[in-house]
Amino acid sequence: MTKRRIAILGSTGSIGTSALAVVDAHPHRLEVVGLAAGSNAIMFAEQLSRYRPRAVAMASGEALDALTANCDVRLPECHGTGSEGLIAVATHPDVDLVLCASSGTAALEAVLAAIDAGKTIGLANKEVLVMAGGLVMDAARRKGVLILPVDSEHNAIHQCLHGRAPGEWRRLILTASGGPFRGRSAASLEAVTAADALKHPTWQMGPKITIDSATLMNKGLEVIEAHWLFGAAASQIDVVVHPQSIVHSLVELKDGSLIAQMGTTDMRLPIQYAFSYPDRWEAPVELLDLTRAAPLEFHAPAWEDFPCLRLAYRALEAERSLPIVLNAANEVAVASFLEGHLGFTAISRVIAETMDAHVPAPTDTLAAVRQVDRWAHEYATERVKASGSPASHAAGVATGSTIR
């Protein structure tokens, strides 16, 4: 049996560790060739000792030094840091499939380089397509490279559309758990803390994506991602809140039939789907027992109470550079909230003000994408500074003078 050789960008994160669990379940089918991580040198050292990859990378020289101090095996000759290290791992000649599981936008260049090298891409990173969906999908078409979505929602849609002609469907329906604040009004969210927002009711994820779930920006980014992955217009993509997270997404066909993908809430399933595609393997997860599942609920999103979702649709409809601005401003606002410098309901206001200050322009090159991204990060940072401390937001509610 020929093994599929993989590289994982972001191996110490929640998706990366789940991916390695899939490798452990199928050691005769999968081989780890490359691993890249951020700064968790201790966990990364354990992964290197276990999987012995041929290419490794970390975010910085300091992290690499810490890795060397904690690792009981020699680093492979192919190792590096930063963007160059990610590219080296993603383009290693022995790699067949690159799983992009790193957060943020640092892996964009590595994904483009991997596509240019003819690697299959497993995409678990929303920001890559939100920032540069046109560049990435055009490059994949030119090189004949397959991009397999690993997000549970897009993975579900990929499964529902498998084998269907493009003209057979008319609507994609992304499901959202609703996050920890489902059913609450915007006014009741003024004083919530990062600890409150990090208590996701269904999924165990990293802090940034968990906050995005709480604001519904996560679903907004997925709407933009679905546009690029499946060629759907904004008007063809709907969102429904489904608290049980059993139906991962649906496709509406031309005749009104709905095709849904259902399963347990375990990220090993969509990861394995990408690793095995087009084959199906038995999965090391608990099977879904519908007789024991809670009643399935579906609700319309609370657009007014969670404005980030509407902002994402606005960015998609404008296209060009506005999705880049949305993503960058969200990164700044969420980081500021997690650090205690910004209130929860101020996140959407910072994003909206940054979008309002930007005139959408074409972004046909990677340099243009990065230029807009830098501007948006700088502008959003200034808006955060101008907003004052979270404690001032409550006072600002009465006067309407501060970001909230």
Distance, in Å, from the CA atom of 76 to the CA atom of 47, rounded to the nearest integer, reads 13
Distance, in Å, from the CA atom of 199 to the CA atom of 324, rounded to the nearest integer, reads 28
How many Cβ atoms are within 10 Å of 262's Cβ, its own excluded?
15
Distance, in Å, from the CA atom of 116 to the CA atom of 135, rounded to the nearest integer, reads 12
Q: Mean of the per-residue pLDDT values for the chain? A: 91
Domains of the chain and any CATH numbers: 4-149 (3.40.50.720), 319-398 (1.10.1740.10)
10-residue block means of pLDDT along the chain (404 residues)? Answer: 94 95 97 96 96 96 93 89 95 98 86 97 94 96 97 96 92 93 87 85 77 93 97 96 95 97 94 96 91 92 93 93 96 95 94 96 92 96 84 37 28
* Helix, strand, coil content of the chain in percent (nearest 5): 50, 15, 35
What pLDDT digit, counting tens, does each position of 40-82 carry?
999 999 999 999 999 999 999 999 999 999 888 889 988 999 9
> H/E element holding 43?
helix 41-51
Q: If you compute the radius of gyration of the chain from its CA atoms, what whole number of angstroms results?
A: 21
Q: What's this model's pTM, rounded to 2 decimal places?
A: 0.91
Whole-number pLDDT of residue 390:
61
What pLDDT digit, counting tens, does each position of 232-250 carry?
999 999 999 999 999 999 9
Buried b (16+ CB within 10 A) or exposed e, 170-201: ebbbbbbbbbbbbeeebeebbebebeebbebe
What pLDDT digit, counting tens, does each position of 250-297 carry?
999 999 999 999 999 899 999 999 999 999 999 989 899 999 988 999
Distance, in Å, from the CA atom of 124 to the CA atom of 155, rounded to the nearest integer, reads 10
The answer to whether 97 touches 105, Cβ cutoff 8 Å, is no
